[in-house]
Amino acid sequence: MKTLMLGTALAALVAGGANAADPLTLQLKWVTQAQFAGYYVAKDKGFYDEEDLDVTIQPGGPDIAPTQVLAGGGADVIVEWMPAALAAREKGLPIVNIAQPFKSSGMMLTCLKESGITNPETDFAGKTLGVWFFGNEFPFLSWMNHLGLSTEGGPEGVTVLKQGFNVDPLLQKQADCISVMTYNEYGQVLDAGIAEDDLVTFKYEDQGVATLEDGLYTLEATLADPEMADRLARFVRASMKGWKYAEENPDEAAEIVIENDETGAQTIEHQTRMVTEIGKLTAGSDGELDPADYERTVETLMSGGSDPVITKAPEGAWTHAITDMALN
């Protein structure tokens, strides 16, 4: 009888172990929206399950800094823009880029045509520009440094309006230009009734000052743990599968995002458009960071005159170790 009970207990233990997926927590840069469709799709379609992962996706928000969450142990991996990540690394946080699903930047400045701005080289001086902060200001500050423009105002500089995460400053004509993403706020401007012909838009990519966005980052200590490194490789593999599925099935991906939006704030129309635009940024990426894109980002961030975003070229700020494991 004791033998039977022992055998039953061992069988239950083995079965329980076989069913226990490895936990992993992802902290997003912003609220639940199609900017993160690949991760929600991977979870919904069972891609994480296939990799024996139990992934928790934590939405972000205006009061949540992913780097701080990572530093505090609240996540294993985060979605962050490289300028914020490299700035945090220079301040002492041992953060490392392990994958780069976004190949291109979606950041732009959109201006009212009536402002008279047609060329950033000559027309920004004396204007008011809306800028996001909380780590999102770094690419803008680098661009102004490239142009030799002070951000302290005056006729020879620009006045920086600390922009909320909306397009109101442009609609209310509080700013000549505002920050927008190709996949989000630009559509909000159009939805508000301003025609494309009444706008002038400058993409950071076109201006040669684009920096990498929405990469995946973890801590050096996490990478040094072989078990966690393996877990991260499986996570990246499943996530990229989710991103490619989203590219090919934008309508379904948008529905999945809506299902995961606990606030009920998102609309299917906006999320579908967002997934489609996001697909243009993830196109061509298999998740592996392109060193040339990294070097361009570093060069942009260091070319800040007397006040650069980072003061020296980082060492050990990225690795191919995880994507090599994931892709091979």
Amino acid 34 reads: A
Statement to judge: residues 273 and 142 lie in one domain: no
How big is the CA angle at 66 (ends 228 and 237), to the nearest 5 degrees? 40
Q: Is residue 270 part of a domain?
A: yes
- Residues 277 and 318 placed together within one structural domain of the fold: yes
| CA gap 282, 213 in Å, rounded | 10
Structure confidence at residue 135 (pLDDT): 65
> Do 119 and 253 reside in the same domain of the chain?
no
Question: Buried b vs exposed e over 164-186: b needs ≥16 C-beta within 10 Å?
Answer: eeebebbbeeebbbbbbbbbbbb
Q: Is residue 162 part of a domain?
A: yes
In a domain, 4, yes or no: no
Has residue 254 got a pLDDT over 50? Answer: yes
Within this chain, do residues 93 and 126 fall inside the same structural domain, yes or no?
Answer: no
Q: Are residues 247 and 301 in the same domain?
A: yes
Q: Is the pTM of this model over 0.85?
A: yes
CATH code for position 83: 3.40.190.10
Question: Per-residue confidence at 199, pLDDT binned at 50, 70, 90?
Answer: very high
Identify whether 323 is part of a domain.
yes
List the single range of 9-23, 130-144, 163-177 with lowest mean pLDDT: 9-23
Containing domain of residue 122, as a range?
107-207
316 and 291 belong to one structural domain: yes
**Contact criterion met (CB below 8 Å) for 90 and 67:** no
- pLDDT at position 146 is 83
pLDDT reading at 48 higher than 80: yes
- pLDDT for 18 equals 53
**171 has a pLDDT exceeding 60:** yes
Contacts of range 119-127, beta carbons closer than 8 Å, 24 or more positions apart: 120/147, 120/202, 120/207, 121/147, 124/149, 124/158, 125/149, 125/155, 125/156, 125/157, 125/158, 126/154, 126/155, 126/156, 126/157, 126/158, 127/158, 127/159, 127/176, 127/177
For the chain, how many structural domains are there in total? 2
Asked if 231 and 307 sit in the same domain, the reply is: yes
149 lies in some domain: yes
Q: Do residue 92 and residue 216 come from a single domain? A: yes
DSSP per-residue codes, 136-189: -SHHHHHHHHHHT-BSB-STTB-EEEE--SSSHHHHTTS-SEEEEETTTHHHHH
Instruction: Please give the sequence-ordered ranges of beta strands (E in DSSP) within the chain, or none if there are none.
Output: 22-27, 53-58, 77-80, 95-99, 107-112, 128-131, 159-162, 177-181, 199-203, 215-219
